[in-house]
Structure 1
């Protein structure tokens, strides 16, 4: 089936192996969603006033612009081999990678990128481009990391916030498109405050707390039966820290979905602590869904 038009899935490439993993993931996602795929390379060298063509005595194709074209061509070929029939295009855009991808976000269905690129330090679990794009993009951002699985559920982190509701909807649609189950995971440590400035009690009843957290989880999933009537949904509320709980669940998942900022996060941080933790420690690809801007 040929992919239809409309908003494209956008994948950022830089010639690295993580970027090629992202291309394969993006191509599969575009095919499932019947959307075109757009391969983009941020070409920073013109901003640094570096000569872009090879010296006259060098062999043809040795210039920086030629090398960038080869990076894009290889990625387009990889995408076409991964998802035959999907409409794939490639473009080199002058600019720094994060800025280029964020410029694509308003018109994109999704942005896909690797967890680190050619300039990444091995000690950094997730590169700065992935974190910046996931923090500021106006569309879902899918980061290729961990194991590539075709079995296991889609896992979504639930905390009862508005962005969590958006993450649940995205995760449900993604699980349905992949033909797999949805695991909605709500991890909690203390009673939820009911308003700004509320004090959390020092002593609380564990049974009552558990019942309240189960209620939050159930309310967060209300309406999924109408949205995806064939989708099998498992609910799980656990007394644990959300980041480690989601990282543990990722070991058997094919995708983990989190909201960019959830309950209890500082409003100045566009990417919350839970989202950051999952991006750094998940054992499968991670999708970050933006909250309302």
Structure 2
């Protein structure tokens, strides 16, 4: 299999805040992640004052600035109370939230957002800012979900389709190492998508299952070679809905890592399965961006 044998670089952690409860929860999750990585935490407030300057008064702009800086100070204080040795810095950006976060992440940072913004209407729905951040990111993005009870399983779950998801598996393995936990590689295949909606002979099904197992085994062998001390569990499931299997599997994980595939021809938007997971997973979801030479669509 092609690819290097080096672990992915896990850079600094960037989290966006907007005054909402989910954003505060995301900041605390991001702080714990930064502490595990022994990297700084960068807290960003994208005020979009540059975009508002022609439409609102100077007094309103100043109020936005004051409120944003106060929010940054409050969030930094809350973080340092729980993680006193963590290096924390804050940024008040005059740009909109999405470009502010992308710029702050640079080439190697990980962006963390809450599962719902200040204007959200349901705890199940990811806010528009979070969607745009995830869809357009060139670095990993984590959507913080399902952490209300604070329980941990010690399991990092990686959604693996084929050898092109080796980098996804590497990121997941690195996260499992940081947590001193285990890695579960899960491959879900849909027989209807493999052979069409026509009746098929049992031999065809067995052959298709064997091909899917081969893809998973190739990833598993590479990960076990690169991370010999990590406990790795491997599962392949057949279902008419990969999304539903992954949502259910996320109940037993601390983090779900998957490729941030984009739907072809639609610009910066998430694919169908990815879109479902960032809205309905039972644990935080980490999206690893896809590159143009890799498969860009979801089956």
The answer to whether the superposition gives a TM-score over 0.5 is yes
3-state DSSP class of the match of 2:166? Answer: helix
Residue 266 (structure 1) aligns with: 264
3-state DSSP class of the match of 2:98? Answer: helix
Residue 121 of structure 1, CA deviation: 2.6
TM-score (norm 1): 0.86
Give the stretch that moved more between structures: 228-237 or 265-274: 265-274
Residue 40 of structure 1, CA deviation: 0.5
Residue 12 (structure 1) aligns with: 16
Tell me, yes or no, if the aligned pair for 2:154 and 2:180 is still in contact at 8 Å. no
Correspondences of 1:46-195 after superposition (within 5 Å): 46-49=50-53, 50-51=56-57, 53=59, 63-122=63-122, 125-147=125-147, 148-160=150-162, 162=164, 164-190=165-191
Once the two structures are superposed, residues 131-162 of structure 1 have per-residue CA deviations (whole angstroms, 9 ceiling, x without a partner) of: 11111111110111113432241111010052
Alpha-carbon separation, structure 1, partners of 2:11 and 2:215 = 33
Gaps of at least 5 residues in structure 1 are 1-5, 56-61, 194-198
Once the two structures are superposed, residues 87-130 of structure 1 have per-residue CA deviations (whole angstroms, 9 ceiling, x without a partner) of: 10001001211121122233442000101111223276111111
Residue 280 (structure 2) aligns with: 281
TM-score (norm 2): 0.84
Residue 238 of structure 1, CA deviation: 0.5
After the TM superposition, which parts of structure 1 deviate over 6 Å for at least 4 consecutive aligned residues? none
Gaps of at least 5 residues in structure 2 are 1-9, 293-299
Tell me, yes or no, if the aligned pair for 1:39 and 1:90 is still in contact at 8 Å. yes
Tell me, yes or no, if the aligned pair for 1:52 and 1:64 is still in contact at 8 Å. no
Tell me, yes or no, if the aligned pair for 1:152 and 1:253 is still in contact at 8 Å. yes
Tell me, yes or no, if the aligned pair for 1:120 and 1:127 is still in contact at 8 Å. yes
Residue 45 of structure 1, CA deviation: 3.4
Residue 253 (structure 1) aligns with: 253
Instruction: Indicate which of 22, 25, 30 corresponds to 1:21.
Output: 25
Report the CA distance shift for 1:124/1:281 in structure 2 as closer, same or farther (over 3 A): closer
Tell me, yes or no, if the aligned pair for 2:158 and 2:258 is still in contact at 8 Å. yes
Q: How many residues align?
A: 274
Instruction: Indicate which of 21, 41, 47 corresponds to 2:45.
Output: 41
